Amino acid sequence: MIAASLYFGPSTLNTFFTSFDYTSFNQQLQSAGFTNIQAAWANAQTLFMSGGSDNCSGTGSGVRTAFTYNNIPLSNPAGIFDQLAIFTYQDTVTSTGAGGNAYIADNTTSPYQGQQGMEHEFNSTDSGGARSDALYAYEGWMNSISSRTDITLLNAWGCGTTQTQDIRLESVGSGDLLYKLQHGYEGYYLAQSHLVNETTPSSDGPSAKGFYFDQQVWNIVLSKVQPC
C-alpha cells in the first residue's frame, strides 16, 4: 500500500477506494481473464461494498473508505512504516527462543544480544505454543526492507525522531537476522524443530524467496542511511 500511494499519489489511490464498484471491477477481471481472482472473491461483494463480518469472526468497513493504518493516512508513508517497524522489531535480542527449544545452530551468541530491535517472530506463539523461527522472521524482513527502500529512494523518508528510531530498530533487527541466517537457526514452530539458514529449506527458504537480493539492498542502500 505504501508503494501504491507513492506511485499513484494518496488522493488518486483513495479515490479508487471510495468510488470502488464491485460489479464494474469484476467485469474488468473477467475481461482480463483473471479467473482465479474472481473465484477467490466471488462471495465477498457485500463485504467489499458495505463491510461487515466474515465466517471467521473478522470485521471490516469495506473498500469504500479512505485508507488509514492505525489512523495514519496514506499521505504519511514514513508514519505508516513506523507502525510496522515498532511491531516488527519490538523485542530484545536473544540467541535462543521458545523456552530454549530454538537456538543459533553453532551455539554462538548474536552480536546484538540484549539490544532492542529483534524481530517479533523470534519470540512469538502459534497453535503449538511458543514459536521462534527465522523463516517467519525473514518473510517479515522482506516487507520491511522493500517498504523502506521505496520510501527512501522516492524521497519520502524525511528526518526526525521517528525516522531515527526506526533506523535504529531496523539496524539491530537486520543485523541479528542476518547473523542467525548465516550461522543457521534451529527454530521451533508448531511444536517442532526446523533448521533455517540462508539456503535451507532449499525449496522455500530464504534464498528461494530472494534473500541475496534483499541482503544486497540492505548492505548497499539502507544500512548506509544515517539518522539526520
Instruction: Please list the pLDDT of the chain residue by residue as tens digits (228 residues).
Output: 999 999 999 999 999 999 999 999 999 999 999 999 999 988 888 888 999 998 888 898 899 999 999 999 999 999 999 999 999 999 999 999 999 999 999 999 999 999 999 999 999 999 999 999 999 999 999 999 999 999 999 999 999 999 999 999 999 999 999 999 999 999 999 999 999 999 999 999 999 999 999 999 999 999 999 888
CB–CB of 145/218 below 8 Å? yes
Q: What is the tens place of the pLDDT at every residue in 170-188?
A: 999 999 999 999 999 999 9
Residue 30 to residues 22, 26, 27, 42, 195, Cα–Cα distance (Å): 12, 6, 5, 12, 43
This prediction's pTM: 0.91
DSSP state of 188: E
